[in-house]
Amino acid sequence: MLFGNSNEKRFVLGYDLGDKVSQISYLASDADMPETLSVLAGAELYNIPTVLCKRKDVNQWYYGKEAIRHLDDGDSIPVDNLVSAARDGKPVMVGESEYDPIALLTLFIKRSLSLLSMELKLDMVEAIMFTTKSLDHRMVQVLNAVTNALELKTSNIFYQSHEESFYNYMLYQPDELMHHDIIACDYDLETLHVYDMHLNPNTTPIVATISVQNYDDLRLGTDGFPKDAALFHKACDRLDDEFLNIMQKVCTDKIVSTVFLLGEGYREKWPKRSLEFLCRTRRVFQGNNLFSKGATIAARERIRPSENAGRYVFLGEDKLKSNIGMNVLKCGKEAYHAILDAGVNWYEAQAQVDIFADPSGVLDLEITPLTGKSPKVVQLFLEGLEKRPKGTTRLRLNMTLNAVDEVYIRVQDLGFGELFPATNKVWEQVIEL
Look at residue 170 and tell me if it is in a domain.
Answer: yes
Residues 251 and 339 in one domain: no
Look at residue 300 and tell me if it is in a domain.
Answer: no
Strand ranges for 371-405 from DSSP E: 376-381, 394-403
Q: How many domains does the chain have?
A: 3
Residues 200 and 153 in one domain: no
Query: Which residues, 6 or more positions from 20, have their beta carbon under 8 angstroms from its beta carbon?
Result: 49, 50, 188
- For the beta sheet containing 181-187, the strands, ordered from the edge strand earlier in sequence to the opposite edge, are 283-287, 256-262, 181-187, 192-200, 206-215, 312-314
Query: Which residues, 6 or more positions from 36, have their beta carbon under 8 angstroms from its beta carbon?
Result: 23, 24, 25, 46, 289, 292, 293
Alpha carbons 216 and 204: distance in angstroms, whole number: 37
Residues 16 and 157 in one domain: yes
Q: Tell me what pLDDT residue 90 has.
A: 94
Residues 175 and 283 in one domain: yes
Whether 81 contacts 94, CB under 8 Å: no
Residues 353 and 402 in one domain: yes
Residues 174 and 119 in one domain: no
The domain spanning residue 421 has which CATH number? 2.60.34
For the chain, what percentages of helix, strand and coil (3-state, to nearest 5) are there? Answer: 25, 35, 35
Look at residue 284 and tell me if it is in a domain.
Answer: yes
Residues 156 and 182 in one domain: no
Residues 362 and 387 in one domain: yes
Residues 71 and 171 in one domain: no
Look at residue 316 and tell me if it is in a domain.
Answer: no
Residues of the chain scoring pLDDT < 50: 1-5
Q: Which of these three, 127, 161, 195, is where a domain ends?
A: 161
Look at residue 76 and tell me if it is in a domain.
Answer: yes
Alpha carbons 389 and 224: distance in angstroms, whole number: 76
Q: Tell me what pLDDT residue 7 has.
A: 64
Look at residue 216 and tell me if it is in a domain.
Answer: yes
The domain spanning residue 222 has which CATH number? 3.30.420
Q: Which of these three, 161, 177, 199, is where a domain ends?
A: 161
The domain spanning residue 45 has which CATH number? 3.30.420.40
Look at residue 314 and tell me if it is in a domain.
Answer: no
Alpha carbons 376 and 365: distance in angstroms, whole number: 8
Range of the domain at 378: 322-432
Residues 123 and 88 in one domain: yes
Look at residue 78 and tell me if it is in a domain.
Answer: yes
Residues 226 and 183 in one domain: yes
Provide the CA 406 distance to its chain's centre, in angstroms.
20
Q: Tell me what pLDDT residue 261 has.
A: 97
pTM of this structure: 0.85
Residues 37 and 151 in one domain: yes
